[in-house]
Amino acid sequence: MHKPVIFIDGEAGTTGLQIRQRLAREDSVRVISVAPELRKDARAREAMMREADLVILCLPDDAAKEAVAMALGLGAEAPKILDASSAHRVDPAFVYGFPEMAEGQGAHIAHAKLVSNPGCYPTGAIALIRPLVEAGVIPPDHPLTINAVSGYTGGGKAMIAAHEEGNAPPFELYGLSLQHKHLPEIQHYSRLTRRPIFVPSVGSYAQGMLVSVPLHLDTLPGRPDAGAIEEILARRYAASAYVNVIRSPLTVSDRLEPEAVNNTNVAELRVFAHPTLPQAVLVAQLDNLGKGASGAAVQNLKLMLHV
C-alpha cells in the first residue's frame, strides 16, 4: 500500500525538527529529506517536491512564499502544501489549519491543497474568543486585550540562542509597537472588527504557553456571568479531542503555570472568576511547540492526506 510521502522544507529549524520527531512515531507516512548540504539548493528542493504528496514549509515568510511558487509551478505534479510560516495565514487561497475553530473546518482542511498552520498565540486567542463572538456574548467591535506568555522556543533562533547561552533576561514583554505579526490572524479568525491589543511576553523556560483574555462582564450584552461563558466554550468543544474546557477552576484556583500540557497536541481552556465581581479571565494553556506548531501540523497533514 502506498504511504503518502512528506517533505519538510526547512526541517533543520525548531518546528521542522519537532514535526520530524512526531512523524517518526507515525507508520502511516514516509518522510523524505534533502541532503543537508543541499537544503538551500533550489533544484534539490524541487526534486523533493516532485516526489512528495505533501510539503510542509518550516521557513521564514519570504522563503515560504518562494517555496509555494516553486511547488505550484510543478503543475500536475504539485504536492499539497502545509505552510507553518505566517506568510499565508490570512491569504484567501489557503485554508486556515485550525480544525476546531468552526464546524466543518476539519472538512475544509481535508479537501484543501493549500493549508496554513496557525500561529501559537492565535490558536489560544481564537479558541477563547471566536465562540463568544459567534454566540453574541462579545460584540465584534468590543475592545479586547490579549495577554500571553510563551517559552523562548517560540521566539526564533536568536532568542533561543540567547536563552540557552544565559544571555537573555528572565522575562520580557515584546511586540510593544502593537504590530505583532500574529494580530491579523487573531482579529480575522476571531471575527473581530476592532483590532485587539495584544501583549506577548517570553519567560526563561523552553516551552509552554498561556494566553489570557480579561473581560468586564458588565460591559457585555446581557451581562453574562462566568458560568454562562464557560458553558458556551464547553458546548463548542464538547466533541474535540484536542481542545478541552476544564470546568473545575471557575472559583477554585488562582494560579496557572504554562508547562502542564507540554509535548502534547492539547489546548486547555479555563474561565477564572470571583463569585461577587463582574469580571472574568479566560485562559488557554498549550504547548507553543505542540498545538501551537508541530502538533497542529501533524494533525493537519493527517486530515489532508486522509491517514
Quick one: pLDDT at residue 155?
A: 78
Which residues are bridge partners to 282 per DSSP? Answer: 213, 271
Q: Are 200 and 175 in contact (CB under 8 A)?
A: yes
Q: Are 245 and 237 in contact (CB under 8 A)?
A: yes
Catalytic residues: 120
Three-class SS of the chain: CCCCEEEEECCCCHHHHHHHHHHCCCCCCEEECCCHHHCCCHHHHHHHHHHCCEEEECCCHHHHHHHHHHHHCCHHHCCEEEECCCCCCCCCCCEECCCCCCCCHHHHHHCCCEEECCCHHHHHHHHHHHHHHHCCCCCCCCCCEEEEEEEHHHHHHHHHHHHHCCCCCCEEECCCCCCCCCHHHHHHHHCCCCCCEEEEEEECCCCCEEEEEEEEHHHCCCCCCHHHHHHHHHHHCCCCCCEEECCCCCCCCCCCCCCCCCCCCCEEEEEEECCCCCEEEEEEEECCCHHHHHHHHHHHHHHHHCC
Quick one: pLDDT at residue 239?
A: 94
pTM for this predicted structure: 0.95
**Closest C-alpha to 154, from 197, 202, 90:** 202
pLDDT averaged over consecutive 10-residue blocks of the chain (307 residues)? Answer: 91 92 92 91 95 97 97 95 97 98 97 98 98 98 98 86 90 94 97 98 96 98 95 96 85 81 97 92 97 97 96
Quick one: pLDDT at residue 157?
A: 80
The Cα–Cα gap between 262 and 207 comes to: 7
Quick one: pLDDT at residue 158?
A: 83
Quick one: pLDDT at residue 2?
A: 81
The Cα–Cα gap between 302 and 130 comes to: 25
- The pLDDT tens digits of the residues spanning 111-162 come to 999 999 999 999 999 999 999 999 999 999 999 999 999 999 987 788 888 8
* Three cell numbers written together for 217: 462582564
The Cα–Cα gap between 257 and 268 comes to: 12
Q: Are 127 and 246 in contact (CB under 8 A)?
A: no
Quick one: pLDDT at residue 243?
A: 98
* Three cell numbers written together for 188: 480575522
Supply φ then ψ for residue 168, to 5 degrees: -110, 155
**Closest C-alpha to 290, from 181, 109, 153:** 153
